[in-house]
Amino acid sequence: MQTISENRSFGGVQGVYSHASEACGCEMTFAVYMPPQARQMPVPVLWYLSGLTCTHENAMTKAGLQEHAALHGLAVVFPDTSPRGEGVANDEAYDLGQGAGFYVNATRTPWRPHYRMYDYVVSELRALVLDAFDVEDRHGITGHSMGGHGALTIAMQNPDLYDSLSAFAPIANPTQSDWGRKQLSAYLGDDEAAWGIHDSVLLMGEKGWKGDVLVDQGASDQFLDLLKPETLSEAMARRRQPGVFRMQEGYDHSYFFVNSFAGDHVAWHAERLI
């Protein structure tokens, strides 16, 4: 692991690091915020998965999580959204290829050699963070848009690995959305039976979540037809899933929305992790 930068932030340290990823077959960059409490003892970890077109940097600089993480004593990990670099497959469209990994393990060419973001987040980067930073093996996960999709689906598939769960404006039902069908068919093939484990609505119906879940959605989000929040709300109600689903009046899909409710989400995770 190489250190790219480290900056003081709310008494803690915001760092950016890189490493050679075996899962993705390329150099990967990620960010970690370590709160001031980590100088005295290991702290729990909150994973923040970002959305389409983002890198580790977008949420690190725009979501405003550091102040809240410092208050509650949580480390925050910001992975990248896809593999990158020379030789890594890409597409001219913003919603496929680099910046649009969708947190799946691709099985089709040309994506298969590098696009293994599921394994990267769940296994490889997790192990690296536990080894390199003063953190507890106790984890929460959240994310925005494509990252909200990733947080929900990863947590429901791995309830033994995560103890708290939330999402901001997740792509809730990708098997029925243009933000999903295009990418899942490209990465996984045309057999829709293979897509279900990456759809939070289907997973909510099949598995649910072991605890309670917090979901915030902007009511003025310009991408509501693609996100399909009502399908997740309905799936939670059918399952009688403990949790809170909030439609936030006047808020859109931007990081102004995420920043506005970041404190609520960090506090939610802190209550369940500490």
- pLDDT above 90 covers a percentage of the chain that reads 100
First CA to last CA distance, the chain = 28
| pLDDT for res 155 | 98
State residue 27's pLDDT score. Answer: 98
Q: What is the predicted pLDDT for the residue at 164?
A: 98
Angle 65-72/255-273 helices, nearest 10 degrees?
10
Amino acid at position 68, single letter:
H
For residue range 211-262, list pLDDT tens digits in order: 999 999 999 999 999 999 999 999 999 999 999 999 999 999 999 999 999 9
pLDDT of residue 118: 98
User: In angstroms, rounded to a whole number, what is the distance separating the alpha carbons of residues 234 and 117?
Assistant: 28
Domains present along the chain, CATH in parentheses: 2-273 (3.40.50.1820)
Mean pLDDT of 93-117: 98
Active site residue 253: yes
The answer to whether 269 is a known catalytic residue is: no
67 Cβ partners below 8 Å, 6+ apart?
10, 263
Q: How much is the pLDDT for 54?
A: 98
Q: Indicate the average pLDDT of the chain.
A: 98
pLDDT of amino acid 134: 97
pLDDT of residue 271: 98
Q: What is the mean pLDDT of residues 92-99?
A: 97
| 154: number of Cβ within 10 Å | 24
Residue of 56, 72, 139, 253 marked active site: 253
Active-site residue among 221, 233, 265, 269? 221
Catalytic residue among 145, 164, 200, 233: 145
pLDDT of residue 84: 97
Q: What is the pLDDT of residues 5-45, one digit of tens each?
A: 999 999 999 999 999 999 999 999 999 999 999 999 999 99
pLDDT in tens, 168-215: 999 999 999 999 999 999 999 999 999 999 999 999 999 999 999 999
Consecutive H or E run containing 235? helix 229-239
Structure token digits, residue 231: 């399908």
Joined together, the tokens standing for residue 6 give: 């480290």
User: Is 145 a known active-site residue?
Assistant: yes
pTM of the model: 0.98
